[in-house]
Amino acid sequence: MVGKVEILERQRVHDGFIPVERYRLRHALFSGGLSDVLVRELYAHRRCVGVLPYDPQADRVVLVEQFRIGALDTAPGPWLIEVIAGMMEPGETATGVAHRESAEEANCTLQGLWPICDYIVSPGVSSEEVALFCARTDARDLGGIFGNEEEGEDIRVHVVDFDEAMGMVESGVVRAAMPIIALQWLALNRERVRDTWLGEQA
């Protein structure tokens, strides 16, 4: 549905690692007319890019593990298994970020990108959008600890058989939305992806 939104006031209320904006607004109602005045806070993110490197020859994926503050109070703890990801800087493209972050976080060279989807992470509180990719790579020599020290990154790289990765999703070891989406997409499209990428190598 495309409807009317009246922005009555927009104010930056916090500047930090995550900027926060406060809105006073009214929006169109399904029954007609406009809502009462609403006050909403919004985490004002930039666009994010995620990438799941996949080795079609070995049938293995590259995942990363790192500390995440959002999982601090969860029972399993704040170290999460994820896909490679990073924020898009002004002037960058999504594909450029995928290559840059793969090199920084995993010393991983991408040989081709397959778009998975674009999605809004948590639209009730955040404007963050993700461009998500699967990427062809050679995983034979990958692994280790990487990350940008200036950004406080401490990232462990895991190279995992596809079936093991899906088992990690089913058992709840993989708990973040981005890797779940990426791995489930690969599960649905794996035969097509392997046929395409292995055919290019032939």
pLDDT at 1 over 60: no
Contacting residues for 99 by C-beta, under 8 A, at least 6 apart: 110
Task: Please choose, from the candidates 75, 88, 77, 64, the residue with its C-alpha nearest in 3D space to the C-alpha of residue 153.
Answer: 64
The amino acid sitting at 98 is: A
Question: What is the set of domains in the chain, with CATH numbers?
Answer: 5-43 (no CATH), 48-201 (3.90.79.10)
Task: Please choose, from the candidates 49, 51, 38, the residue with its C-alpha nearest in 3D space to the C-alpha of residue 186.
Answer: 51
Place 147 in a pLDDT band, splitting at 50, 70 and 90. confident
Helix ranges (DSSP H) in 30-176: 94-106, 162-171
Measured between alpha carbons, how far is residue 42 from residues 19, 104, 113, 127, 142 in Å?
8, 29, 31, 7, 38
Among the listed residues 149, 151, 170, 191, the single catalytic one is 151
Q: Please state, for a pLDDT cut of 90, what percent of the chain lies above it.
A: 85
In the numeric block, the tokens 């909403």 are attached to 40
Please give the pLDDT value at position 50: 98
Q: And the tokens for 34?
A: 């406009």
Task: Please choose, from the candidates 75, 79, 78, the residue with its C-alpha nearest in 3D space to the C-alpha of residue 64.
Answer: 79
Higher confidence at residue 58 or residue 153?
58
Q: And the tokens for 67?
A: 């500390």
Helix ranges (DSSP H) in 52-112: 94-106
86 and 97 Cβ atoms separated by less than 8 Å:
yes
170 given a catalytic annotation: no
Please give the pLDDT value at position 2: 65
169 and 181 Cβ atoms separated by less than 8 Å:
no
Place 202 in a pLDDT band, splitting at 50, 70 and 90. low
